[in-house]
Chain A
Amino acid sequence: MKATVHVFLKPGVLDVQGKAVEQALHGLGWPDVAHVRVGRTIEFELAAKDAATAEAEVKAMCDKLLANTVIESYRVEVA
C-alpha cells in the first residue's frame, strides 16, 4: 500500500516560512493570497493487510518520528 503523510505546523504555531512565502506572492502580484502554510509531504510504501491497519501503522509512525506533535499536526492518506 502507498502511504502519504502531510505534516504542517499546528494552527496556533507561527509558520514563518508560510508568512515569508505569502509576502513574496503579494509582491509578485497576488495580493489576495492569505493563510499560506508551508509543510512537508512524506510518501512511502508499506505492507499491510488492509487500509485501516495501514492507517493505524502510519499514525504510529507519525507520533514516533514523522511529526513532532508538540508543534505539528499530520494527515494520513493510504491507498
Chain B
Amino acid sequence: MKAAVIVFPGSNCDRDCKVAIERSTGAAVEMVWHAETELPKGLDLIVLPGGFSYGDYLRCGAMAALSPIMGEVKVAAGRGVATIGICNGFQVLCEAQMLPGALLRNEALKYVCKTVELEITNAQTRFTAGYAGRRQVAMTVGNGEGNFFTDPATLARLEGEGQVVFRYVDNPNGSTAAIAGIVNDAGNVLGLMPHPDRAFEAELGSADGAILFQSALASA
C-alpha cells in the first residue's frame, strides 16, 4: 500500500499525517512538494494535510488549490484514488472545486481547539466502513475557519445522496447542518475539519482516526 502526503508551503500537519498513516496502516508514505508536477506511481491514498498553506493568503486554501501538483491530484482523484483533505486540506479541496461548499470563519470568531464527538452520518463510505457498527467517534478540531457553508440546494443534495459523512454532536463553529465532513458524489474524495491524524493512538486521547486511514486503504 502506498500513500502520498502533499506538502504546501505553510502545511504544518504533513509529518503528523505521515506518521499517522504509517503507524495505523503500515503503508509507505511519500511526501510530495506542491511544486511537483507528477505524483508517485501506484498511489492508493492521497492526503492533503492541515496547516496554513500560503499563510491563508486571499482565502484559506485558495492559493494551494492552484499549486502545480493539484492538477495531478485532480486527475488521480478522477481515476478513483482515495483522497482525504484534513482541515486546511478540506479548504483546499473546496477551493479546488473537488468538493462542494466552502469554509467560513467560525461563527464565534474564535479559533476552536478541542476534542469533538462526531456522529458517523454515513457508515457506508469507503472511509467509514471500518467503523463497523459504531455510530460515534472522537477526534480533535483545531480551526479558525471551519464553518462549513453551502447553499440550501447543495445541502439537500449532500444529505439526499449520503455525502454527509461526519456531523458534530455539539457544533463548535456554526457549520451548516453541523457538518464536519463530506465526500464527493463519486465517494472517493473526503474532506473533514477534525483531525484523524491527531487521533490514531490511544495515547493521543483517541485512536478513532486510525480506522479512517485503515478503511481508506482497505478499499483501495
Contact = CB atoms under 8 A, between A and B. Distances in A.
Interface of A: 9, 12-14, 16-17, 20, 65-66, 68, 70-71
Interface in B109-153: 109, 149-151
B175 to A, nearest CB: 12
B102 A20 contact: no
A13 B149 contact: yes
A36 to B, nearest CB: 14
B58 A16 contact: no
A20 B95 CA distance: 26
Q: Which of the listed residues A20, A65, A68 has the most CB atoms from chain B within 10 Å of its own CB?
A: A68
Contact of A68 (B102, B109, B150): B102
Interface in B141-173: 149-151
A13 B62 CA distance: 19
Contact of A71 (B58, B102, B174): B102
B102 A70 contact: yes
Nearest to A12: B151
Closest 3 CB pairs of A and B: A70-B102, A71-B102, A16-B109
A49 B151 CA distance: 38
Given A68-B59, A68-B95, A16 B105 contact: yes
Nearest to B63: A65
Contacts of A17: 105, 109
Given A70-B150, A71-B149, A13 B105 contact: no
Nearest to B95: A68
Contacts of B101: 70
Given A65-B66, A70-B101, A14 B107 contact: yes
